[in-house]
Amino acid sequence: MNGEARASRDAVLAHNARAWDALAAAGAALARPAVDEAFTDPRGWLGGGGSTGRPWLPGRLDGLRVLCLAAGGGKHGPLYAAAGAKVTVVDLSAAMLDLDRQVTRERKIDLEILQGSMDDLSMLAAGSFDVVIHPVSTCYVSDVGRVFREVARVTKTGGVYVSQHKSPTSLQTSLEPNAAGRYELIHSQRGGEPLPPVGYSRLREPGTHEFVHSWSALLGGICAAGFFIEDVCEPDHTRPDAAAGSWGHRAAFLPPYIRVFARRAPGGKGGTAGGSAGAIVLVE
């Protein structure tokens, strides 16, 4: 990485760390610890994660090594630990990690808590984790391929990678409908620059730098890094009676997220993006 690229990356990370510290201090929706009820049945609360009725996670997490990546905030790490896993939490924001520390003290839960960026996991040994849980966050870095390569390095062969991402089309599209009641595609996938800032929105985190990543970069990048994708779903956030312009209305036209279940391939080979399956002939 050349000096200019390094400076740009570091500036984005520093900006987003400050933004998430501010969101945590303000008690934003995504910076609130898990509710008390979740700890009465943490494994049940975590759910299965899949779209096909096939569970993405084991019924029991006891003893599994789980990395909760870019997942500070007092929710993911504490719940996986309460369900029996040996958990490491990595997050860029010191304030978000403080929420994890707060919950661990209150609940008497053991967590390894590390401050760092999702695209540099050099503090973690290769092949360390059975499961990597990665909530929505890849939009906060410009080079998502680097993230996936780091995740692949620290995941055991056969290990599970569950990640959720903002849909590129959703990020490219206006937050409010136009005068004709239609949502407009207004941002390009290309350019490498962060999206223009917005005020409060459930779809965008105010104050952060966010980047659009194409499906090729997201799904292809996961495969190229050394994973097989076994399942994909778009969580349903629609509301049948939602008013135009609301979260539930827009979600019916533009699902905001995609959730991906992938497994670490042996020998560092991923799916078709890795080239291990040979040429593919497409018949129209």
- Using a pLDDT cut of 70, give the percent of the chain over it: 90
Least confident window among 84-93, 143-152, 232-241? 232-241
pLDDT greater than 60 at residue 42: yes
pLDDT at 201: 85
Q: Quick one: which of 30, 26, 11 has its CA closest to 72?
A: 30
Q: What is the pLDDT of residues 122-137, one digit of tens each?
A: 999 999 999 999 999 9
pLDDT at 54: 72
Q: How large is the average pLDDT for residues 233-259? A: 92
- How many other β-carbons are positioned within 10 Å of the β-carbon of residue 214? 15
Distance CA 192, CA 177 (A): 26
What are the beta bridge partners of residue 263? 160, 228
Q: What is the pLDDT of residues 55-65, one digit of tens each?
A: 899 899 999 99
pLDDT greater than 60 at residue 262: yes
pLDDT greater than 70 at residue 247: yes
Distance CA 224, CA 277 (A): 12
Q: Residue 244 — pLDDT band, cuts 50, 70, 90?
A: confident
Of residues 50 and 246, more confidently modeled: 246
The answer to whether 38 and 78 are in contact (CB under 8 A) is no
Three-class HEC string of the chain: CCHHHHHHHHHHHHHHHHHHHHHHHCCCHHHCCCCHHHHHCHHHHHCCCCCCCCCCCCCCCCCCEEEEECCCCCCHHHHHHHCCCEEEEEECCHHHHHHHHHHHHHHCCCCEEEECCCCCCCCCCCCCEEEEEECCCHHHCCCHHHHHHHHHHHEEEEEEEEEEEECHHHHHECCCCCCCCCCCECCCCCCCCCCCCCCCCCCCCCCCCCCCCCHHHHHHHHHHHCEEEEEEECCCCCCCCCCCCCHHHHHHHCCCEEEEEEEECHHHCCCHHHCCCCCCCCCC
pLDDT at 265: 96
Three-class HEC string of 192-212: CCCCCCCCCCCCCCCCCCCCC
pLDDT greater than 80 at residue 272: no
pLDDT greater than 70 at residue 282: no
Q: What is the pLDDT of residues 136-189, one digit of tens each?
A: 999 999 999 999 999 999 999 999 999 999 999 999 999 999 999 899 999 998
Question: What tokens does 31 get?
Answer: 């910076």
Q: Residue 12 — pLDDT band, cuts 50, 70, 90?
A: very high
Distance CA 234, CA 191 (A): 26
pLDDT greater than 60 at residue 279: no
- Using a pLDDT cut of 90, give the percent of the chain over it: 80
Q: Residue 264 — pLDDT band, cuts 50, 70, 90?
A: very high
Distance CA 127, CA 262 (A): 15
Question: What tokens does 107 get?
Answer: 């609940």
Would the CA dihedral through 49, 52, 58, 60 be positive or negative? positive
Relative orientation angle of helices 3-25 and 94-107, to the nearest 10 degrees: 50
Q: Residue 284 — pLDDT band, cuts 50, 70, 90?
A: very low
Q: Could you tell me the domains of the chain?
A: 3-270 (3.40.50.150)
pLDDT at 254: 94
